[in-house]
Structure 1
Amino acid sequence: MANQNREEVVCVTGANGFIGTWLVKTLLEKQTPRYKINATIFPNSDPSHLFTLHPEAQSRITIFPVNILGSTAVSSAIKNCSGVFHVASPCTLEDPTDPQKELLEPAVQGTLNVLEASKRAGVKRVVLTSSISAMVPNPNWPEKKAIDETSWTDVEYCKLRGKWYPVSKTEAEKLAWEFREKNDGIDVVAVHPGTCLGELIQKEMNASSAVLQRLMVGSKDTQECYWLGAVHVKDVARAHVLVYETPTAAGRYLCVNGIYQFSSFAKTVSELYPDFPIHSFPDETQPGLTPCKDAARRLIDLGLVFTPIQDAIKEAAESLMAKGFLQRTPSKN
């Protein structure tokens, strides 16, 4: 955990992605301790925006082009680090052609490589970016009980329906807990974001922003039973740092600004952007989902204050329009 009296070196995997970028920004803005960051990026991807995040970014960020499946390369990035934030994991809204190669292997083997390298380096805590997708869908969850950190995605249910991203996140996280159980001296804490919204600092559109973008151009996709809520990406980044720096933090931390129906999210977006062709969903788009305002109670108890979801939606939408991913004047088609 963080030592408040010295400079500290930490590793962030997938540092130039959406969550990774905001996490790097949050770490750079901390004064006590003063973080230096070993930032892993997928080879040939662009990390240039990371150096715009802080006046000292150039001197405090070291870039490591790393395929997470390469254990030697992963080890080189984690060596001499006191902590690791393992964010890197493939995420897409499209159905994979080869689920094993595109999603499962990078998520599971990549997590194992990070944990093994962390153990060799003497890292005391690894903060794992898991996902709401490792908690739902769970068809056997008690009716009228709000989802909490004890819920696990039903992997077989997802496999039968070809939903491979939840499978990848669930199997990767379960591997992390098994590793923690078998290896003394290394700690693991997991953060479970929902749909992350906010300003796009990187050039590419991430999967969570694509959910909003598709909704605003008329998509009727209800996200099935995977939807639990949204969260500002800066709150996700703060949650990672918070659980890293809090010695008593342990286990899984749900990170959403409340659990609610996708229909209510769509209604909020429509109220903010009435000129856009946003589909009106039935109130019960997901039967059995129990809303909960303070679902992320464990993070709230640690001191995290969540950003109003309206602000996250507006920042995300304006960013999508500014970068040309969404027309500022809605199409009439």
Structure 2
Amino acid sequence: MAEAGEKERVCVTGAGGYVASWLVKFLLSKGYIVHGTVRDPCDEKNAHLKKLENASGNLQLFKTDLLDYEGLCAAIAGCTGVFHVACPVPPGSVPNPEVQLIEPAVTGTRNVLNACMKAKVKKVVVVSSLGAVAVTPNWPKDQVMDEECWSDKDFCKTTENWYCLGKTIAEQEALEYAKRSELNIVTVCPCIVIGPMLQSTMNASSLLLLSLLKGGHESMEDKAQPVVDVRDVAEALLLGYEKPEVEGRYLCSSYVIRTSALVEKLKSMYPDYNYPKNFTEAKGDMKLSSEKLQNLGWKYRALEDTIADTVKSYKESGFLG
């Protein structure tokens, strides 16, 4: 998309986050110039970005957040593509969901898309979530969920599932925005993202494996856990950007595994950790299809490789003694 001989310039929002850090790493390795938005470029939690290969010459960090439209415009100016990855995922309860979750997700996405229009960006890849797909009580039990499936916004409100509500509204608005403008917008919906961390701080989805390894739970619900490797998500986002035939939304999931089966797999690889002793039955199964993404050439890693790399990363980061 860039002129011949010129390096292509792209922007990644929330560049210091879990998925975004891997995306930045892959973009830099492919020769892109990357503008990354972060709340504070000097914060120690973004230090890992500056250590990435090619970062010294090709990575520029911009101090802004999703509600700072002018700051976003400055970061996106001169870019041919934008990856909108930033979104708050609070680890615990949310006292003020409208301010903490809905507004950053929805107004933040609007601000990014408006800044993209202003900068005449060629393509935007928006990271949505399985949370915008699967929170729907009336979906037929044995029917596979794919890109046609949307979370029920009223049900999200009733059950106070604010994260999924924000993601659903933001993604629907993004796809509507694409219809009424010249902006080429693609959305990607990853499920629970696991895998090695580049950042120094623990993120919400990484707590899944960590809590199984060292949570010391006596009993856990035997839920169906849809998981995907963080590196496979970053590669899906790159495919979404680089393939000209890409359009609409893409579900991004590799495996659906029950918690008990995941624990058995962990035990077989790492027998010495403090695993849950019992599992209570959980209703509902989940069937997901990432066929649309696989048709672009997307492949995913073996679950054992993801687990091994994740545990190694936790040990190196000091999260596992």
Once the two structures are superposed, the pairs formed by residues 51-62 of structure 1 within 5 Å of their partners are 51-54=50-53, 56-62=54-60
Name the SS for the 1:307 alignment partner.
coil
Distance 1:199 1:276, change over 3 A: same
Q: CA deviation at 1:304?
A: 1.5
| Residue number in structure 1 paired with 2:61 | 63
**Deviation, structure 1 residue 2:** 6.8
**Whole-Å Cα distance in 1 between the matches of residues 148 and 91 of structure 2?**
26
Partner of 1:315: 309
Out of 198, 207, 210, which is 1:201 matched to?
198
Once residues 23 and 242 of structure 1 are traced to their aligned partners in structure 2, the CA distance between those partners, rounded to angstroms, is 11
- The amino acid of 1:173's aligned partner reads E
How far did residue 39 of structure 1 move?
A: 0.6
Matched, 1:238 2:235: yes
Spell out the pairing of 1:182-201 with structure 2 (5 A cutoff): 182-183=180-181, 185-201=182-198
Identify the residue that residue 252 of structure 2 maps to in structure 1.
255
Change (3 A) 1:278 1:326: same
Q: Tell me what 1:39 maps to.
A: 36
1:68 partner SS: coil
What are the Cα deviations for residues 204-229 of structure 1, in whole angstroms up to 9, with x where unaligned? 011111111112223455496xx551
Please tell me whether the aligned partners of residues 266 and 280 of structure 1 are also in contact (alpha carbons under 8 angstroms): no
State the AA in 1 paired with 2:24.
V
Which amino acid letter does the alignment assign opposite residue 317 of structure 1? V
Q: How many Å separate the matches in 2 of 1:199 and 1:3? A: 35
Q: Is the 8 A contact 2:250 2:290 kept in 1?
A: yes
CA deviation string 1:28-81 (max 9, x = no partner): 111xxx310011012364422112110x21110011011210110000000111
- Correspondence for 2:167: 169
Cα RMSD for the two superposed structures: 2.1
My pick for the range that moved more, 195-204 or 42-51, is 42-51
Given candidates 88, 91, 100, the residue that maps to 1:90 is 88
- Counterpart position of 2:21: 21
Residues 1:58 and 1:199: Cα distance change in structure 2 (over 3 Å): same
Aligned residues: 317
Q: Indicate the percent of aligned positions where both proteins have the same amino acid.
A: 36
For residues 9-40 of structure 1, give each alpha carbon's deviation from its aligned partner in whole angstroms, at most 9, with x where no partner exists: 0000000111110000010111xxx3100110
CA distance in 2, matches of 1:123, 1:231: 29
Quick one: which amino acid aligns to residue 140 of structure 2?
P
Structure 2, unaligned runs of 5 or more = none
SS in 2 for 1:92: coil
1:115 maps to 113
Q: Distance in 2 between matches of 1:175 and 1:265?
A: 36
Q: Which moved more, 1:194-203 or 1:253-262?
A: 253-262
For residue 295 of structure 2, what is the amino acid of its counterpart? D
**Deviation (angstroms), 1:267:** 3.0
User: Which range moved further: 209-218 or 116-125?
Assistant: 209-218
Distance in 1 between the 2:134 and 2:163 partners? 11
Tell me the distance in 1 between the aligned counterparts of 2:13 and 2:220.
31
Gaps of 5+ in 1: 328-333
Amino acid at match of 1:270: K
